[in-house]
Structure 1
Amino acid sequence: MSINAKLLASGLVLALLGAGFALTIDRSGEALIDASDRVVNDGTFPLARIEAAAIRADELSERFEREHRGDINRIVTREEATQIAEGLSKVMSELRTVSVNSGPIAARLDELDYGINRLRMADGEITRRLVRRELTQIVASLNGVAQNLRKGVDELRQNTVDRSGDLKRLIIAGSIASLVAGLLILLYLSRSIAGSIRQATSNLLRVSGEEQLAPAGGDAIAELEAAIEFVEVALEGRMQEISAGGRETARRYEGELQRQQKRFEAALNNVPQAFCVLDDTGRLLSVNAAFSHLFPSMKVGMSTARADGDPLLARLLAPPHHEFETREAADGRSFELRRHASPQVGGTIVIFEDVTRIQAVSREMERLSGQDALTGLANRARFYASLETMLRDEAIEGEIAVLSIDVEDFNTVNATLGQAAGDDLLRQLGERFRSLVPDDALVARLDGDEFGILITLDGEPGSKQRLARAVMESVDGRPIRVAGRPLAVAVAVGMVVVGRDDRVAGLDAARAMQNCELALQQAKAQPGRKFKAYRPELREELQAKQLMIADLRAALERNEFELHFQPFVDLRRQAASGFEALVRWRHPTRGLVGPATFIPLMEEMGLIVPLGRFVLIEACRHAAGWPGNLTLSVNLSPVQVKSQDLVTVVQGALRSSGLAAERLQLEVTESLFLDDAEGVLGTLQRLRELGLVISMDDFGTGYSSLGYLSRFPFDKIKIDQSFVRDMNRDENIAIVRAVMGLGAAMRMSVIAEGVETVDQLMRLEQEGCSEVQGYLFSKPRPASDLPKMLMEIREGFRTGRFRRPAETEAARAS
């Protein structure tokens, strides 16, 4: 250990001893102060207050005893109670200042507090005897608490005296210990330092090679000085020897550095990137072989700023300068430049790399990543990116048209002709769509059988309509030859036109494509020519539809559906022959909603079967209470007829209501037979075997009505209202006449619906139609209006309301 370390350690030991001693005294002093505080706070002060309270209580007890020596069994008066309460309040004021830590004493004080408060609150409802006894107990309790506190005070005083003695003894012991420790440390330092100095003298002599020269003895410091002088002389000789050896070592290191330099230059020359080091003026400090090959006219020491230097290098190093950048040469090559200022080499390192081929490969990969592998058209990602770019391009002044084209029944092609035929169809469609638009337009395959077109419109009126028409006509009536056969193809087209105002408002590609897809959905859903241009109302309609769907899901559970009835009228009897049950939806906020609004949604949601079950059961229940000559007609949806339990549901409705089967008429439409005609005919046959009447609704508007009439013997034909409403046209009269003749020939009754005027009624009657239905007689009305409707129809015939005025007068005259 060095001398400084020994001195430091000794001082540290003394400091620690002193600090420990001071800390011990400080803690003992704090304990003594705390004991003194407890004598005052927990002893002397509480004792004084309790003794004062005991004196007041004793005075109050003596005064009460003195003033009431008479009848002690009397009830204390209010005035006496007030005096007692005032005296006790003074006692309480003394006790409230008392706070003791002793558990038993605190408990006694709580009991006292309770007893005093009980006596204060008595308010004249106790006897004098009880007051005297309570006061005596209070005085005794206070004296007992005071006696306990005196004992505690004595104990606290003794504890304080003991702690004071301990502190004095500690101070004496600590002083003696510190004095002894200081003397021991001083003795240790004296011997230790002298020994270290002599050891240093021996070491110096050993270093000089003169170990045999022993110290002369005496003062250690003098011996050390003599040794130092001797060593200085010895070291001077040694330094001369070292200097000679150092020159030889330097020559050896210089050769090694040259070999390292050559290896470094060889490594640089094998690097494929061109490399150079420039100083602050642009002068070449170092280059590698790739640099010399790329810029053969430039040598080390030349300035890159020279006018007659290499033009390629001048172009690449022209300002502005960046740490990393890509620059293009005059011949089209691209170079990546990386700059790094290096203080170690005294300049800026510049690395040149020809990335022309890499960029070409990158562009090709980028092209392939944005291209559909099957058709060679752009894919969805590229289409969206291009749309986003066009929407943000300020240079585009006109409108941007986005088309989404869906190939209808494409899965059928895959299923029947194979996937290869489907792929060929998509390729040919892509070529057709590509041929419709200019080169700057973008045609893409967005999905399996969905294409997209992105184009700027020329601003001429009708340009977007012409574009949509061209797309539709490119496939309509122009079969595509696939798998060796011509294939008719139909498409649905949705379009959105984005104007400058939309772009300024922040319309992005995702929103534009949502609008386009929404228009496409509407186009696919509509009959006939499947084209739809986006309107803002479409989104509102879709949102309204979604709200209505949500309401419809709960409508059945909330019993919001109700039945209305429209009469059938027998013209021969001039009375109602029956009623058709029509469902209505009583919405909590929309009011009464007609079936044309919600029936298609119920079919789309798959809820038409439970709704039909409700209509059938509820209608039968109502009809069971009608007169026996009135029939009930219920419409069946195609989904209902194709359900497995329709016959069971009908049987259950008849059984639960008690309605005779021959009074129930079920109406079906011709569209029912488009799918699974054999299964539908079998279901209708089982229903007919129950004794029901089966009627064909909307006859004449469908697909092959006559074929189904011949295959299934319907009981009734219902002439569609479209023929009745426009009976002024000869062809409609001819159709009505033909249906009447067909019904007579096949022994089927005929009913005409949609009769709204007396003229229509007269023409139908002239053609031999004996049963009609329409607003002329009544709109569909609630079941509660049935009696009224029966009377109105009979009264209408009686008063001639259903006749022309002239015929009415003639009838009255006859």
Structure 2
Amino acid sequence: MSIRLKLMISGLALTLVAVALGGFAHVLNGRIASSAFLTYDETINAVRELNEAQTLLRQVVSSRTQAKRENVPVDRQAALIQLTSEFGEISQHLRLAAANATSTAAAEQTRRIDEWLNRLLKGRAALGSPELYQELSAIDQEMTGALTTLTAGGAQMRKRVEEETSSLTSRVQIGIAIAVLIGLGITVALLRSIVPPLRSAVDLASAIASGNLQTNVEHHGSGETGELLRTLDTMQKKIAADFGRIETFLAEQETNYSCQLSIQNARFDAALNNMTQGLCMFDTAGRLVIVNRRFAQMFGMPQLGVPLAQVGFTADLRLLLEPNGKQVFSHELTDGRIIEVSRQEMESGGWVATLEDITERRQAENRLAHMARHDVLTGLPNRLLYREYLEQVLGTIEDRQKIAVLSFDLDRFKAVNDTMGHPAGDELLLQVTQRIKSCIRRTDMLARIGGDEFAVIQRARRQPDVARQLAERLIAAFEDPFVIDRHEVSIGLSIGICGARGITHPDPSRAADLLSKNCDVALYQAKREGGNTSRFFEAELDEKVQERRRMELDLRNALHRGEFELFYQPFIDTSAGAIAGFEALLRWRHPQRGFVSPAEFVPIAEEVGLIDSIGAWVLETAATHAAGWPSDLKVAVNLSPLQFRKRTLVDDVAAALERAGLPPERLELEVTESLFLMDTPAVRSALEGFRALGIQISMDDFGTGYSSLSYLRRFPMDKIKIDQSFVRDLEDPGNLAIVRAVMGLSHALNMTVLAEGVETAEQLEMLRQEGCTAVQGYYFSPPRPVSELPTVLFEIAARLEETNAARGEMEARERA
């Protein structure tokens, strides 16, 4: 029987014992519980019914006694009817008490009391006599005795339950003891059937490991243990056979060794004469004994068996071959060749040397070394050489008083590269290099750091004046256009300048890091100011840049930390007097800064490439929220122009709507006018794809950016949102005229118009008079979290009712 089968049978047996023991305990527990419930229910019910009967009896006696004492006239017929009813109710309680009595004596005593009452009821002539009340008192005493009997019966029943419980507990303990004995028996039997064969297998394996391959094996059983022993026995025999074959093979190898040695010598000779290095060997007396073919090709075939001084080599070659302590070195011969020598002494005396002509390799290395530190296109020092030179000139604190670094980027270079192609961009860089060289001094170092970024290291006594003058010359030099392929190209220069005077760190490498960083900060500020200008580094600029970098780092983790949330601001259809939907507005709840304005973090997200993931989260979350709203409410979500660079944008939006269960016609996507600067087939295709899905497209902040009527004609738009800056000062005739013009234009193009920033009832009324019925602003509600939207619905309904009432009163006054 196999080990697996033994274990399965043992486990099954233990399981059956456990199940039987559990079932036995369950039955015993049921019997105990039934006995306990019976004792409790029957005793309590019988006592309660008998108490009720006794209480009614005493009330009858008390009421009749009091009437007789007060000489109240009694209608005998009425009294007889009432007494009959009361005796009937007492009799009913007595019968229930007899039915629930836990002892025969108590039941019999209760029935006797009931029969006694019935006899009194039948003897109606004595119902008003004094003997009646005496008998009723006797019945009362009899009921008291019955209660005592019932109580004693309950105690006896409780004792029987306790005795039965004790008996059943003893049976359970006996069952547990039997189960333990069965389990121990199964365990012992299992160990006796498995352990001895395994012990034999261990002994056999140990013998094989120690090299004893003649151990006799007794096979135990036919299961896994028997199979293991047979396998070990077979392995022992196979190893012994393999050892015999190995000994035979070694003997054959020894016979063939001499033949193989001659073959190896031939191979060695072939390898020696096909080496790319020349080789020569000298014995202990300094005589040349071996040269290979390559050595003869390099220096001619020398005479063998003579000392080095008599071989006939040139003086510089003899110098290379003499043992002078150097193991590996190179030397340039008088004929211009560079020879690398590797010399090694032999244990038996003498030495061997290999010589290789590395002239071409050294020339290539020199070229590579130059290329490693110079820009391939312009020939200027690259970032590596620039860094080495910068650390060199920053070696001492005194030298730093004269050092300034100018770092500059080419403005609009990317546009030239993209529109005219990379060859034109390379030609422009070459011309830029020549123009910059014409502005700097011979002692200034100009380097191309990468792409369109250059840097100049200056050493001059009058810093920072000399650096400022150079920046002015450079900017002035770039005022004239460049000519590329007969096309004039105008580009600018943004320059960041920093002097080394204030950098006191003693380590030149660390000082170079600080100086380069400060130049980058100044350059960043110059580009932020529009380019084609220069800026000196200031500590305040560094703080702003560091603050921006900290915000960028926090922004990269904000989505994973769940710091973003959506607020919703309703937009109203005043003609219908109802909410048309909500605009989803992104908020960042920073753990230290609190709420961060989207105007601060959205541009950073766009710049560092986070806008796609954040925009996808906004759309998914807004669609999920809106799916739980009433079906007549829409949700508006803003899209960044940079999101349109993603080719799968339309598919991503459709997938988000499907996951949320939101119909496409309930979604509005808002874009800004800056999207029109990306007038590409991809943008138009995306907008048309949204329209095909049934999604509405709104132009947000209309009138504040790159407004053009041609955009409205070329791009599919459903709604125009008038920027709040025009609505805020609606009393201004100019703003009112703009609103009227937008209204007329949108109606002509069959577009909806929504006015943003409505804050007063007066603004709302003026817009209504101009025909604008879609509005949004703080007059109705500020942006609120999703949890407050039910409250917003009630508040806006009240506000609309108030507005309509006020409008009705105004119209009534106008008609009057």
* Short-chain TM bin: 0.3 to 0.5
Larger Rg, first or second structure (1 or 2): 1
Q: TM-score, normalised by structure 1?
A: 0.46
Q: TM-score, normalised by structure 2?
A: 0.46
